[in-house]
Structure 1
Amino acid sequence: MNLLAISGSARSVSTNTALLRGLASVTPPGHTLSVFDDIANLPVFSPDLETAPLPQPVKRFVNLIANSDGLIIASPEYIRAIPGGLKNAIDWLVSRDEIIGKPIALAHASHRGDDMLAQLRLVLSTVSTGFNADIFLRCDLMKKSPQEISRHFEKAEARQLAKTFVKDFIEFCGQ
């Protein structure tokens, strides 16, 4: 199974991107989890640009989604809302078939962010009948470096929680 993890952060040392890389490190054999951390390079969505040819960064993003069996999204909260870059990425998918029915789950790298998560759940349940709000991983990783987050997933309890999350999502994608 080919999973795509999308980071909603444009930061080069993003906590959420590091969380997704941690999930990739516990993905079971026979499955892949690739991390998309290029939200910042997608052009601002415009319906005028949806016709062929799509802008190259958008085409790459859409192809990654089309070739995945499921999506895991992790995102920071900005001013109690979905970051503009992630919302922009989702906007590029709204009138496309690649996202409809695609299994989607959320992971979150903070003990905060409930307002953004509520908005993101609403948006994702609107664009995909495959969104599963019950498969969710929350790790308190705020203010940790990517190296510290990598070490976090070496701890037995954190590793097991991450493995269970990925396993549950793989099972959901296979249904």
Structure 2
Amino acid sequence: MIKILAISGSTRQQSSNHQLIAAIAARYASQAELTLFNGLTELPHFNPDLDQDQPPAAVAAFREQLRGADAVLICTPEYAIGVPGSLKNAIDWTVSSMEFSKKPVALITAGTSGVHAHKSLLGTLLIIESRMREEMQLVIPAIKTKMSPDGVITHGETLTAIDRLMHALLSVATAPREDDIYLNPPAFNKV
């Protein structure tokens, strides 16, 4: 079974992005073991001086979870037309240790809008050599209108787009690495 580490860019426990991850995990439970990374707020502010042979324990644990995953699913809101600081901080901790390099990554930006954060985060993921395809990224504006309050995806087009994204992620996660496809921003899908 494919192991996927899911990272939510939101620090709110009842966020739409947490609900989206839970809905995807349930929908793909027979094909992938999807685990939510719960340590985003425990990571210290990135400091290159601390990024030595023995990084802070929370950073080492995050890196270990990334190394143990076959693929990564990032679901994030957009804050002030940008990437949430806690998510960017987490990714910054992986630049020197290269856990995202050659790792299949799917990116969903779900919030009120999302386009600006999506383009920015996509650029970051590509520069650190994540394995991505166009169909492995998705912007879902007005996410609250596309899910029920209890986290069920109610919008058919969104569900179809998520299925396309997950099928692509699972395909890349099982493909030989020479099949890597690196995307030139800003191409992305939007529902």
| TM-score, scaled to structure 2 | 0.79
Structure 1 segments unaligned to the other structure (5+ residues): none
Aligned residues: 173
- Identity among equivalent pairs (%): 29
| AA matched with 1:166 | M
Once residues 130 and 152 of structure 2 are traced to their aligned partners in structure 1, the CA distance between those partners, rounded to angstroms, is 35
Query: What CA distance in whole angstroms lies between the structure 1 residues aligned with 2:113 and 2:75?
Result: 13
- Structure 1: how far apart are the matches of 2:167 and 2:150? 20
Q: Is the 8 A contact 2:5 2:34 kept in 1?
A: yes
Moved over 3 A (4+): 137-144, 155-164
Deviations 1:102-127 (A, max 9, x none): 11111122351101111011111001
Q: How does 1:37-56 map to 2 (within 5 A)?
A: 37-56=38-57
Which residue is equivalent to 1:128?
129
- For 1:114 and 1:159, the matched residues in 2 are separated by 19
Specify the alignment match of 2:20 in structure 1: 19
- Which aligned pairs between 1:23-102 and structure 2 lie closer than 5 A? 23-102=24-103
CA distance in 2, matches of 1:141, 1:33: 25
Distance 1:28 1:10, change over 3 A: closer
CA RMSD of the aligned region, Å? 2.3
* SS state at 1:131 partner: coil
Q: How far apart are the structure 2 equivalents of 1:129 and 1:159?
A: 24
Whole-angstrom CA distance in 1 between matches of 2:148 and 2:58: 28
Query: Is residue 45–residue 89 contact of structure 2 (8 Å, CA) maintained in 1?
Result: yes
Q: When the two structures are superposed, what TM-score results if normalisation uses the length of structure 1?
A: 0.86
